[in-house]
A and B are shown apart, each in its own frame.
Chain A
Amino acid sequence: MDVLTLSRLQFAVATYFHFLFVPLTLGLSLLVAIMETMYVKTGDEEYKRITKFWGKLFLINFAIGIVTGITLEFQFGTNWSRYSVFMGDIFGSLLAIEATLAFFMESTFIAVWVFGWERLSKKMHAAAIWIVFIGSNISAFWILTANAWMQHPVGYSLNNGRAELASFLDVITNPYAFLKFFHQLPAAYTVGGFFVMGISAWHILRKSNVDFFKKSFRLAAAFTFIFAVVVVITGHLSGEEVAKYQPAKLAAMESLWNTEKPAGMSLLVIPDPANERNSVELLKIPKLLSLISHFSTTAEVKGLKAFPKDERPPVTPVFFAFRIMVGIGFLMILLAFFAWRWQDKIENYPKFMKILIWAIPLPYLAIELGWTVAEVGRQPWIVYGLMKTSHAVSTAINTPQVATSLIAFTLVYTLLGIADFYLLFTFARKGPKEN
Chain B
Amino acid sequence: MLNITWFILWGLLWAVYFMLDGFDLGLGALMPLYAKNDTEKRMIFNAMGPFWDGNEVWLITAGGVTFAAFPKTYAVMFSTLYTPLLMILFALILRGVAFEFRSKIENPGWRKIWDWCLIVGSFFPALLFGVAFANIFKGIPFDVQGMFHGNLFTLLNPYGLAGGLFFLFFFFMHGALWASVKTTGMPAERAKNAASKLWIIVLILAVIFLIYSKFATSLYNNYMAHPIMFIIPLIAVIALIMVRIFISKSDWWKAWFASCVTIVAVTYFGLGGIFPNLYPSSLDPAASLNIYNSASTQGTLKIMFVVVLLCIPFVIAYQTWHYITLRHPVNEDIIHDDEAY
User: Chain A: residues with CB nearer than 8 A to chain B?
Assistant: 52, 59-60, 62-64, 66-71, 73-74, 76-79, 81-82, 84-85, 87-93, 95-101, 103-105, 107-112, 114-117, 119-120, 164-165, 168, 394-397, 401, 405, 408, 412, 416, 419-420, 423, 426-427, 433
Contact = CB atoms under 8 A, between A and B. Distances in A.
A102 to B, nearest CB: 9
B315 A81 contact: no
Given A70-B93, A96-B61, A108 B67 contact: no
B233 interface: no
Contact of B322 (A97, A112, A168, A412): A112
Contact of A396 (B57, B86, B101, B146): B146
Given A114-B339, A408-B86, A95 B67 contact: yes
Interface in B154-189: none
A419 to B, nearest CB: 6
Given A70-B60, A79-B79, A63 B49 contact: no
Interface in B281-309: 296-297, 299-300, 303-304, 307-308
B142 A396 contact: yes
A275 B318 CA distance: 61
A63 B99 contact: yes
13 contacts: A70-B59, A74-B85, A90-B300, A97-B304, A100-B315, A103-B61, A109-B318, A109-B322, A165-B297, A395-B147, A397-B79, A408-B86, A423-B104
Nearest to B59: A70
Given A85-B71, A423-B105, A426-B105, A95 B64 contact: yes
A354 to B, nearest CB: 28
B93 A107 contact: no
B325 A119 contact: yes
B173 to A, nearest CB: 24
Contacts of A165: 296-297, 299-300, 303
Contacts of B37: none
Contacts of B318: 104-105, 108-109
Interface string B18-59: 000000000000000000000000000000011101101101
B89 interface: yes
Given A111-B54, A112-B325, A416-B93, A88 B60 contact: no
Nearest to A164: B297
B86 A104 contact: no
A84 B315 CA distance: 27
A89 B75 contact: no
B148 interface: yes
B236 interface: no
B64 A101 contact: no
A401 to B, nearest CB: 6
B212 interface: no
Interface in B238-254: none
A120 B303 CA distance: 36
Interface SS of A by simple majority? helix
A110 B50 CA distance: 9
A88 B86 contact: no
B76 interface: yes
Given A99-B60, A115-B326, A168-B303, A77 B77 contact: yes
A20 to B, nearest CB: 14
B311 interface: yes
Contacts of B61: 96, 99-100, 103-104
Contact of B57 (A63, A103, A112, A116): A103
Nearest to B326: A115
Given A78-B86, A81-B146, A98-B64, 8 more contacts: A52-B338, A71-B89, A74-B89, A78-B85, A96-B68, A104-B54, A107-B56, A408-B90
A305 B142 CA distance: 44
A408 B177 CA distance: 34
A397 B75 CA distance: 12
Contacts of B68: 88, 92-93, 95-97
B326 A396 contact: no
A203 to B, nearest CB: 20
Q: Which 3 A-B pairs have the closest CB atoms?
A: A88-B71, A77-B78, A92-B67
Contacts of A76: 67, 74, 78
Contacts of B229: none
A120 B104 CA distance: 24
B71 A89 contact: yes
A328 to B, nearest CB: 30
Contacts of A73: 60, 63-64, 67
